[in-house]
Structure 1
Amino acid sequence: MMSSNFNLRAKVLMHPLVLFQIIDAYERRPKDSNQVMGTLLGRNDGKDGLVEITNCFTVLHKEYPDIGRIDLDLSYATEILELNTLAYPQERVVGWFSTGKSVSRTAVQLHEYYSRECGEGQPLHLLVDATLKSQRLSTRLYCAVEMGVPGGTKGLMFSLVPLEMTSGNDEAVALRLMEKQSLQPATKKLGRILPELVQVVDETRVLQQRLDLVLQYINDVLARKRKPDNVVGRTLHDALTAVPLMDSENFRLMFNANLRDMLMSITLSMLVKTQLQLSEKLSSMQDQ
């Protein structure tokens, strides 16, 4: 049974992590496969009409384009979804993605399957052209709209839905780093990604520069060197009131505790990386 049509006035936001995962899956696809597909995860706020695509995972499949049929590894998809729900309980199935230039003939079957997985929500279909033939990553979002004669034959038509990119604070740091690396000359060899502590120092320096600009503006307004702007004043007031009141000693303790946690995470990640490298080398020695 087909679900009701998607609200075309809904706002759909997508995080860059989704595209990175799709591109990675496309680059790692089997040699005999021309595309990859999988499940889109995120949050669907039915009250405000806001859909946020935050994550995804690939689903093993076998497609028969001549007869318009596709076989999904449902046990694998169910297992991965259960593991993701344990790690991110706030995420739900919001649709599916596939790579290609146009909507495939198997989209109707996938829509029926993901209609059951999405529950009350209408599944969305994200189409990504990962070939980069036009030197651009083309992304299009579709929703299925019922069409046909009332009481008679009905079908589905996939209609385009506006899609906006959004990012959180963590993703913004990574995007700025990637942008910085992409601006390097093509002849210059790209350096390795800086350690976490170096990035923290760089971001702290940028924050200090921005605070200096704000203080300079405030001092100029108080000294009557600059005409005050009500919009800037309200923005500064909202930013200051959003920060909880805390004395310097408590802030120092909180900062040091978070810093120790970060150092512990870095140490554990380096240990895991070293163990994996040793295990890989030992395995190659045994094969020889």
Structure 2
Amino acid sequence: MTRRFDVLENCRATTPSSGATNTATTTAQQCYIHPVVLFSILDHFLRRNDNQERVIGTLLGVRSDDGRIVEIRSSFAVPHFETEDQVEVDMEHHRTMYTLHKKASAREQIVGWYATGSSLSKYAALIQDFYSREAAPFSAVHLVMDTDLVPAVGAAAHPENCVFLPLPYELQYPDAELSALQTAADSSELGVTGLVSDMEQLEKTIEELHAMLDRVTKYVTNVVDGKEKPNNIVGKSIDKQFAVLFQSHLQDILMVAYLTNLTRAQLNIADRLQRIL
């Protein structure tokens, strides 16, 4: 089964007297999400206290220069206490965690916040207002993950709330995360899989690379022989990838040559010092 989630963004406060101020001046138009963010949110939800119905946390990532494209790369949990009458968010914990995160990932910044549940909370506007100030001058993105596997989250406006607009989003798979996801997908029906050795992983990667090269070679051969209609986009992509891989291979060779010369020089210095002593 697939869990549903929506990416939302507030555009304005509907009631000036509510006390919420929107400091954002630029709104996002496209959002990219790394899978590790979704797994972190689910892990946070599974580890919640027994009396908690939902959890919230901070989203971190990078933006384009104009702020219209957001890439959500990581997240961390933020403790909060919520009742029918009030909500309390541990702002100090949020700022402490963000300071620690900046030491490890200096480029990542606050881009918004997440919450679990099947609908928008009535306190969403208050929390959104806080994160809008943290993400200023850009608007804060709100990611809502439905952990109950029910219909999609609604984004209707309320008189006392902000107007939340859904954003188009897309999952991005970095190489390291894609390898982990493939390993998880190949696990048995019991959900248990053994860790492969480095040699087995290398062998599997080489086999996949060999299979991809066979498909590309077959396609190019069919196009040259007139058996298949050429596609300019595919042709340009193959040429671009070949140039990138060739350049990368050349850089690897130069690096190996540099390290070899450096090692030889160190051995010569050590040999001369040994003779002097």
For the residue of structure 2 that corresponds to 1:43, the secondary structure is strand
Query: Within 2, Cα distance between the matches of 1:96 and 1:164?
Result: 17
Match of 2:78 among 49, 59, 72: 59
Show the counterpart of 2:47. Answer: 28
Matches within 5 A, 1:146-185: 156-181=162-187, 184=188
For the residue of structure 2 that corresponds to 1:31, the secondary structure is coil
Matches within 5 A, 1:44-83: 44-47=63-66, 49-64=68-83, 66-67=84-85, 69-83=86-100
The aligned amino acid for 2:163 is M
Q: 1:196 to 1:30 in 2, by over 3 A?
A: farther
For the aligned residue pairs, the C-alpha RMSD in angstroms reads 3.3
Q: TM-score, normalization: structure 1?
A: 0.70
Match of 2:240 among 204, 226, 238: 238
Q: For the Cα contact (< 8 Å) 2:27–2:138, is it kept in 1? A: no
Deviations 1:223-270 (A, max 9, x none): x3745725243222111122307559927948x99xxxxxxxxxxxxx
Query: Within 2, Cα distance between the matches of 1:141 and 1:168?
Result: 30
Show the counterpart of 1:131. Answer: 148
Quick one: percent identity of the two aligned structures? 25
Matches within 5 A, 1:1-288: 1-4=21-24, 7=27, 10-47=29-66, 49-64=68-83, 66-67=84-85, 69-132=86-149, 134=150, 156-181=162-187, 184=188, 186=189, 190-218=192-220, 224=225, 226=227, 229-231=230-232, 232-243=234-245, 244=247, 246=249, 250=253, 253=256
Q: Which has the higher contact order (CA 8 A, sep 6+)?
A: 2
Please identify runs of 4+ aligned residues in structure 1 that moved more than 6 A: none
Q: For the Cα contact (< 8 Å) 2:110–2:134, is it kept in 1? A: yes
Q: 1:189 to 1:15 in 2, by over 3 A?
A: closer
Query: Within 1, Cα distance between the matches of 2:145 and 2:228?
Result: 49
- Structure 1: tracts of 5 or more residues without a match: 149-153, 258-288
Q: For the Cα contact (< 8 Å) 1:141–1:161, is it kept in 2? A: no
Q: For the Cα contact (< 8 Å) 1:127–1:141, is it kept in 2? A: no
Q: 1:249 to 1:161 in 2, by over 3 A?
A: closer
Q: For the Cα contact (< 8 Å) 2:24–2:137, is it kept in 1? A: no
Q: TM-score, normalization: structure 2?
A: 0.73
Q: 1:4 to 1:93 in 2, by over 3 A?
A: closer
